[in-house]
Every structure is written in C-alpha cells, then in structure tokens.
C-alpha cells in the first residue's frame, strides 16, 4: 500500500475536516505539538488517529481510534497516556494483543483449530461441528480463559444426564483437544500461553470420566439367517431402487468387514472388476488398502453396476452424493428379523467369524486394515491381494453356510416392506 506525507502542522478539528482523500493508498499528517501523534487518511475517505513510537528497538504504529467517533482532543489525550506507559517500560501494542487474545472465544478457537488441522476427514469435521452446536452451544461466545475446571466438571455431568455417558466423554475429549490446541496456538508478547492449563484435566484428577464399556455386539451365527432374509426382503420395498441399494450396502459391509464410511464413499473408479479387487484410498489410518473381491461380492457389484448412475457405488440422494446411514431400512431389518444391530456390528461380525475359523492373525488384520505397530514380524510380511483372496473366500463361505435357513431348507416368510 502506498503512502504520502504532508508537512507537519498542529492537528485541529477544522484541519482534520478539511483533509482531502488520497487517490490511492493512504496519507499521513503529523502533529507539530506532540511528536508521534498523527492523522491517517485512506483512499476510502476513512480518517483515524495514530501514534508512532519506538518500542523495544522498533518503530510501532498504534491506532488510537477513528474520526469522528474519537475527537481530536480525545485522541491527543489517549496519545499522551500511551506515551506515559511507554516511558515506564510498558508495551501498549503487546498489551492490546494480549487483551484481544484473552478474549478469544471457544468459537474463535474452534475456527482456528479447523483452519490449522487441514487434513481432518469430512466425517470428523461433521462430528466436531455437531459437538460445538450440541454439547457446547451455550459456550461458543465464552472466552476460553474463562472456562474453569468447575464449569467443565458441571458440563460433563449435565451432558451425561441429558445425552448419555458415552456422549459426555466424547464431548470432553473433543474439548480437551481444542484446549490443547489453544495452549500451543495463543501466546502473549512474552511467548507465554494465554491458557496456562487444560481445564478438562479436572475429570482425570478426580476420576470423573464415565466408565463406558466398549460395545462388543455382533450378529450371532443363529441370527444370521433371519437377518439375511430380512435384508433380502428390502428388495421388495415399494421404493425398490433405493431399498435394494441399501440391501446391497448392508451385505457388502458384512462380507468385506469395511467401516461404514469406507464402504459408503467407495467409487466405481476404486473397483477393478477384471482383477476382482477394490482399493480404499481414504482409510481411517490413512494407509491405502487393496482387497480381493470374492465371487459373492463380485456378483453383487456386477448387478449393482447395471443400475449405476453415480460415481459412488452406493449412491445417496443427499448433497454428499453417497449413502448416509440408512436408519429407516436398518430399522425395518431389525423389526423383520428380530435381530438388533448397528452398521459397525457388521464389521465386528466379520472379524468374529474370521477368528472362529482360524484365519491368520496377520491376514485378518490386513483385511480389516488394523495396524500392528508393536509386532516386529508383521513388518516383514507383505499381504498382497492374491494372498488375501483365500482367507476372504473362507470367511464368505462361512457366512453363506450360516445363511441356510434350516436343515429342511424351508424359506422364512416376511411381509412386504412399505413406507408407512
């Protein structure tokens, strides 16, 4: 930005009123009575008072306020006050920055957190934003420095009572991460963090975290037949196109052991039907994974491709383009089969069945893309697609065996699903 200088003169109201607007950049008029005191005029016509003074070896330009909100006399008085502060060793610029940082709100810290953490996954971003608008909706405008340990403990209890203990723990783990970011991000002029301690530490110090046992539910072998029949009956829904897609999605999850988001975001470009394999590029541990297609899954995808009208294998009707959790269809399957399950239960079922038929631990961990960080031997084993094909086929064969209805091979009867 260009700037121009005019001869120094005593700054008065009448003189400020007569100042002309520069064509570009900004112009400065310095006062003859008070050294460092000046008026700045920008090309937009805005006028403001400034004070220029050497502080800690560098010339600093401090903005006093805009004219006419601040009068000439008020600005001159403020300049005198700041000069006095500087004379006794204070740094008004640093103090102003410190004051602004002290007022950083939870919402501002979250926005900076999101800008800094550029590689957060879309689902993670969604979950974080949801927590901000649900768990901390009344805290968004609070200064992070004002959120005390007592407030954290009380909020943890309130969330636990209203939304469940697991959700309360999740919310506080997120808040802990946000505070840790703020401690590293916001420093005063001396390089000290404005947030000296993470208030969520109170939950650890008092052992107030809720004890939430990790969910271990699976679909048991004797439940797989009715579950399968209920899923297949989705294809008889009055909205066959979408419900048939959900049926294939559920089966794909069970037969591959994928996480729901990995399967939902799978694109046709990720699938090689000629090589009978598919590749996950956006995994939880950020390591790409190529897996074999069993005959069953290959046939499922071949049939699905005939009706494909999207880049996603399991296309959705929303803005994302891919299938979001199909709660209505999942509930229908639960009602018809009497088997309560979640989408992640299908992954646990895949793993449980694999273990029951003694699939190699190394092969299984590779199939479900689990890291073996503490296993030195695993680092020397290369599990390529063809080596994984046999264990994948074995798991599929076991699932298909469980799908048999009974010894007499009678077919279960399920009512037609409708939208009511």
What per-residue confidence (pLDDT) applies to 374? 54
Is 411 a residue whose pLDDT tops 60?
no
Domain of residue 138, CATH code: 1.10.150
- Residue 35: which CATH number? 3.30.160.390
Please check whether residues 265 and 398 belong to one and the same domain. Answer: yes
Q: How far apart (Å, rounded) are the C-alpha atoms in residues 11 and 14?
A: 8
pLDDT tens digits for 135-158? 999 999 999 999 999 999 999 999
Chain segment 194-224, per-residue pLDDT in tens: 888 999 999 999 999 998 766 668 999 999 9
CA distance 309 to 321: 11
Examine residue 9 and state whether it is found in any structural domain, yes or no.
yes
Domain assignment of residue 181, given as a range: 106-205
Closest CA relative to residue 40, chosen from 30, 293, 32? 30
pLDDT higher than 90, residue 110:
yes
Mark whether 253 and 398 lie in a shared domain.
yes
Q: Tell whether 260 and 387 lie within a shared domain.
A: yes
pLDDT beyond 50 at 60: yes
Same domain, 179 and 52: no
Q: Could you give the CA distance from residue 253 to residue 314 in angstroms, rounded to a whole number? A: 11
CB distance 50 to 64 below 8 Å: yes
What is the Rg, in whole angstroms, of the alpha carbon atoms belonging to the chain?
Answer: 32
Q: Is residue 412 part of a domain?
A: no
Same domain, 197 and 140: yes
Of 138, 170, 205, the residue at which a domain comes to its end is 205
Task: Categorize the per-residue pLDDT at 419 as very low, low, confident or very high, splitting at 50, 70 and 90.
Answer: very low
Rounded Cα distance, 227 and 230, in Å = 5
C-alpha pair distances (Å), 51 with each of 75, 188, 350:
9, 22, 70
- Tell me if 241 sits within 8 A of 418, measured CB to CB: no
Partners of residue 54 on adjacent β-strands: 59
**Residues 246, 316 within the same domain:** yes
Q: Same structural domain for residues 371 and 291?
A: yes
What pTM did the predictor assign?
0.58
For the chain, the maximum distance between any two Cα atoms, rounded to a whole number of angstroms, is 107
Residue 151 and residue 27 in one domain: no
Same structural domain for residues 232 and 377? yes
For residue 294, being part of any structural domain is answered with yes
Compute the average pLDDT of residues 282-287: 69
pLDDT tens sequence across 356-395: 998 888 888 888 876 655 554 444 444 578 889 999 999 9
Predicted local confidence at residue 89, as pLDDT: 73
Residues 73 and 199 in one domain: no
Instruction: Give the pLDDT band of residue 99 (cuts 50, 70, 90).
Output: low
Residue 118 within any structural domain of the chain = yes
Are 157 and 60 found together in one domain? no
397 and 248 belong to one structural domain: yes
244-270 pLDDT per residue, tens? 999 999 999 999 999 998 999 999 999
Residue 116 lies in a domain: yes
pLDDT at 189: 62
For residue 213, tell me if it sits in a domain.
no
229 within domain boundaries: yes
Last residue of a domain, one of 63, 90, 117: 90
Q: Per-residue pLDDT averaged across 25-40, rounded?
A: 91
Identify the CATH number of the domain in which residue 344 sits.
1.10.443.10
338 and 279 Cβ atoms separated by less than 8 Å: no
Which of 170, 205, 240 is at the close of a domain? 205
Average pLDDT, the chain: 85
The listed range with the strongest mean pLDDT (113-122, 229-238, 387-396) is 387-396
User: What was the pLDDT predicted at 4?
Assistant: 64
- Report how far residue 266's alpha carbon sits from residue 113's, in angstroms, rounded to the nearest whole number: 28
User: How many domains does one find in the chain?
Assistant: 3
In a domain, 418, yes or no: no
Quick check: 123 pLDDT over 90? no
Q: What average pLDDT does the segment 126-133 reach?
A: 92
Instruction: State how far the alpha carbon of 239 is from the alpha carbons of 236, 244, 246, 298, 320, in Å.
Output: 8, 8, 11, 24, 21
Other residues' Cβ atoms within 10 Å of the Cβ of residue 16: 18
pLDDT tens-digit map of 320-334: 889 988 999 999 999
């Amino acid at each position: 930005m260009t700037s121009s200088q005019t001869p120094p003169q005593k700054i008065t109201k009448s003189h400020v009123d007569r100042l002309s607007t520069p064509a570009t950049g900004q112009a400065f008029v310095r006062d003859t009575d008070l050294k460092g005191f000046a008026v700045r005029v920008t090309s937009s016509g805005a006028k403001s008072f400034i004070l220029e003074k050497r502080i800690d070896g560098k010339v600093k330009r401090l903005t006093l306020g805009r004219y006419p909100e601040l009068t000439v006399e008020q600005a001159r008085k403020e300049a005198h006050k700041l000069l006095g502060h500087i004379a006794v060793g204070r740094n008004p610029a640093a103090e102003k920055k410190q004051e602004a940082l002290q007022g950083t709100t939870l919402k501002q810290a979250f926005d900076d957190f999101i800008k800094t953490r550029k590689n957060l996954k879309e689902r993670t971003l969604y979950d974080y934003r949801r927590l901000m608008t649900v768990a901390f909706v009344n805290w968004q405008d609070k200064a992070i420095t004002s959120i005390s340990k007592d407030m954290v403990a009380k909020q943890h209890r309130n969330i636990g009572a209203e939304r469940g203990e697991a959700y309360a723990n999740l919310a506080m783990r997120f808040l802990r991460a946000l505070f840790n970011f703020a401690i590293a991000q916001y420093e005063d002029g001396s390089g000290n963090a404005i947030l000296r301690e993470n208030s969520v530490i109170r939950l650890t110090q008092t052992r107030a975290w809720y004890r939430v046992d990790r969910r271990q539910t699976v679909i048991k072998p004797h439940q797989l037949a009715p579950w399968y029949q209920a899923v297949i009956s989705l294809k008889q829904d009055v909205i066959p196109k979408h419900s048939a897609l959900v049926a294939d999605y559920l089966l794909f999850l069970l037969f591959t052991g994928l996480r729901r988001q990995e399967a939902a975001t799978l694109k046709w470009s990720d699938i090689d039907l000629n090589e009978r394999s598919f590749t996950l590029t956006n995994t939880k541990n950020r390591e790409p994974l190529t897996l074999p297609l069993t005959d069953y899954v290959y046939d499922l995808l071949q049939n699905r491709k005939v009706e494909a009208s999207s880049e996603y294998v399991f296309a959705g009707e929303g803005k994302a383009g891919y299938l979001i959790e199909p709660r209505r269809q999942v509930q229908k399957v639960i009602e018809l089969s009497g088997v309560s399950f979640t989408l992640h239960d299908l992954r646990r079922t895949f793993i449980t069945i694999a273990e029951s038929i003694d699939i190699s631990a190394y092969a299984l961990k590779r199939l479900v893309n689990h890291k073996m960080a503490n296993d030195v031997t695993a680092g020397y084993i290369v599990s390529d697609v063809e080596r994984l094909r046999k264990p994948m086929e074995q798991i599929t064969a076991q699932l298909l065996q469980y799908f048999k209805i009974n010894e007499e091979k009678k077919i279960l009867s399920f009512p037609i699903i409708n939208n009511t």
